[in-house]
Structure 1
Amino acid sequence: MSREVRVAVFRPDDERIDEAVDLLDALGANPVPDPMLAVEPTGALPAAGSADAEADYVVLTSKTGVELAADAGWSPGDATLVAIGPATAGAAREAGWTVELTPETYSSDGLVDLLSDRVDGALVEVARSDHGSPVLTDGLREAGAEVHETVLYRLVRPESAGESAELAAAGELEAAAFTSSLTVEHFLDAAAERGVREAAVAGLNDAVVGTIGHPTRETAENHGIEVDVVPDDATFEALATAVVECAAPAHRGR
């Protein structure tokens, strides 16, 4: 019944968009892949873990960051390795590293809650993208940690992005699944470049919009996008499932 539910998905244009399409297809939806993120490595590696900058904790916030560091031959050394969630932890274990801590909530807030009672006086290395939330670094510093941040990669908008914005503006999307604040912003930028931003927002507000986490929800709502679904589990699988389940009965009722 949900096969006609067109769901826009904005994962990076690598295996993650392919996996997202496969998942949505398995859920009976009609995926509309429109990558809003592309990875540009900076070439930088975490300072901590080297002989001259041993960290007490190393915090990794994405599978991409793990893979870039591992491919460059970096390892966390004797530091306590902290992963933001299961995908990041899985990539770290594939690299041969031992993941000792993962928060209950897969977010910057969850990491701060996990580490705040552990890091007073510790050196914490945070390795992530250029769009990492200050919630993490500020929270760790407030907990008494010395924080060193390394930007492993930049997240940019692919030039080809924007098909979903045109579909939304035309009223031809039943749902959209945003996985970060940056995907929301890049969607709106792509819509603006095509002269359909206002219509695209209106189209989303006639559809089902899901976000991973409340910071992404807040970004969307600050731009006038009404959010219908925020799953408790901050994974794409949970988001896609919730969005399709929410969108299918609404579509059938039209």
Structure 2
Amino acid sequence: MKQCVAVLAPAEGWEPLCQRFKELEFLFVPPLTCVPMDSAAFSYFLSDLAVGRFDAVVMTCPMAVRAVIDIANSRGMLNRFISSLARTHLVVIGDRTAESARWNGLRVGSVSPEVSNDALVKHVQALPFRGSIALLRSDRGTRALPRALVECGWTVTEVPVYSPRLAQSEDMELLLDRMEKREVAALAFPTPLQTEAFFVQFFERFDREEGMALLEGVAIAAMSAEVVKRLDDHGVQADIIPKMATAELLIEAVADHL
């Protein structure tokens, strides 16, 4: 019987990375759904982008890309947005975000390879210019990131473009059922928000003692130091941490561990 690995993320972008590991069964269970946030902040961002006031724009994840495209399209301004964005330097985090951006017609200036705030700050710090930067992300992003960019000499404009919501789905219930039957060998956590969303639902289903008992023997994989910290907040120790915070290396590390 194949060992089961649950990746706490949508199949999009992850499934192709897992296909070569035929000896494992992969489940893709997103614990979050994301709601685009059309707001005055986005209106100001579009106006400033159109007149060239940003030297760089950061999109933190595929969800941010999809939200921005959805908002611009709903306003009937998608083509204008894409052409305006092409005149500035677009930074994205990770290959999955880059793929999503390019698929939606966006020109990517550079890719921060690791999915972590520290790696993003180092990447932006290495750019050969400074100026004004727009940070497009969720409305629950950590304050540490804009502070670090300011310390690097950037003027930062935060633009919340989506709001994460718990995805209390049938897939999540099925995953928790399989955990209760001890049919899950590993859990892979890509981001702190996905980690938090999983444990909110996990500890709603199981009390603390029962939940911690069910996690015994399950390999816990964390893609970044930020995820490790969020796991620590719940009293859960990471067993698997890839040498770099990328989706591909996370899956490889899980497969090697099992």
- Which category describes the TM-score, using the shorter chain as reference length? 0.7 to 0.9
Aligned to 2:108: 99
Aligned to 1:70: 69
Quote the Cα distance in structure 1 between the aligned partners of 2:209 and 2:193.
18
Residues 37 and 158 in structure 1, CA contact (< 8 A), matched pair in contact too: yes
Report sequence identity in percent: 27
- Residue 150 of structure 1, aligned match among 130, 152, 159: 159
Quote the Cα distance in structure 1 between the aligned partners of 2:138 and 2:128.
22
1:169 shift after superposition: 4.2
Residues 169 and 202 in structure 1, CA contact (< 8 A), matched pair in contact too: no
Residues 212 and 236 in structure 1, CA contact (< 8 A), matched pair in contact too: yes
Q: Does 1:212 align with 2:210?
A: no
Residues 52 and 87 in structure 2, CA contact (< 8 A), matched pair in contact too: no
Quote the Cα distance in structure 2 between the aligned partners of 1:20 and 1:106.
14
Query: What are the within-5 Å matches in structure 2 for residues 7-22 of structure 1?
Result: 7-12=5-10, 15-16=11-12, 20=14
1:67 shift after superposition: 3.0
Query: What are the within-5 Å matches in structure 2 for residues 1-254 of structure 1?
Result: 3-12=1-10, 15-16=11-12, 20=14, 23-24=17-18, 26-27=20-21, 28-44=23-39, 45=42, 47=45, 50-52=49-51, 54-71=53-70, 72=72, 73=78, 74-75=81-82, 76-116=85-125, 118=127, 122-160=131-169, 161-247=172-258
Aligned to 1:250: none
Residues 57 and 123 in structure 1, CA contact (< 8 A), matched pair in contact too: yes
Quote the Cα distance in structure 1 between the aligned partners of 2:100 and 2:139.
20
Where structure 1 has 5 or more consecutive residues not aligned to the other structure, the ranges are 248-254
Amino acid at match of 2:9: R
Residues 5 and 26 in structure 2, CA contact (< 8 A), matched pair in contact too: yes
Range moving further from structure 2, 19-28 or 75-84: 19-28
Residues 61 and 88 in structure 1, CA contact (< 8 A), matched pair in contact too: yes
TM-score between both structures, scaled by the size of structure 1: 0.82
**105 and 30 in structure 1: CA distance in 2 versus 1, 3 angstrom threshold:** closer
1:121 shift after superposition: 6.0
Amino acid at match of 2:66: E
SS in 1 for 2:50: coil
Q: CA RMSD in A?
A: 2.6
**130 and 143 in structure 1: CA distance in 2 versus 1, 3 angstrom threshold:** same
Q: Which runs of 4+ in 1 moved over 6 A?
A: none
Range moving further from structure 2, 56-65 or 227-236: 227-236
1:17-47 superposed Cα distances (whole Å, 9 cap, x missing partner): xx54565464121233432011211124470
1:109 shift after superposition: 0.9
Residues 132 and 154 in structure 2, CA contact (< 8 A), matched pair in contact too: yes
**232 and 131 in structure 1: CA distance in 2 versus 1, 3 angstrom threshold:** farther
1:203-236 superposed Cα distances (whole Å, 9 cap, x missing partner): 2232111111111012112311121111123233
Where relative contact order (Cα < 8 A, 6+ residues apart) is larger, the structure is 2
**9 and 226 in structure 1: CA distance in 2 versus 1, 3 angstrom threshold:** same
Amino acid at match of 1:111: L
Range moving further from structure 2, 90-99 or 141-150: 90-99
Amino acid at match of 1:154: S
Quote the Cα distance in structure 2 between the aligned partners of 1:196 and 1:166.
15
1:117 shift after superposition: 5.5
Quote the Cα distance in structure 1 between the aligned partners of 2:25 and 2:257.
14
Quote the Cα distance in structure 2 between the aligned partners of 1:23 and 1:100.
24
TM-score between both structures, scaled by the size of structure 2: 0.81
1:11 shift after superposition: 0.9
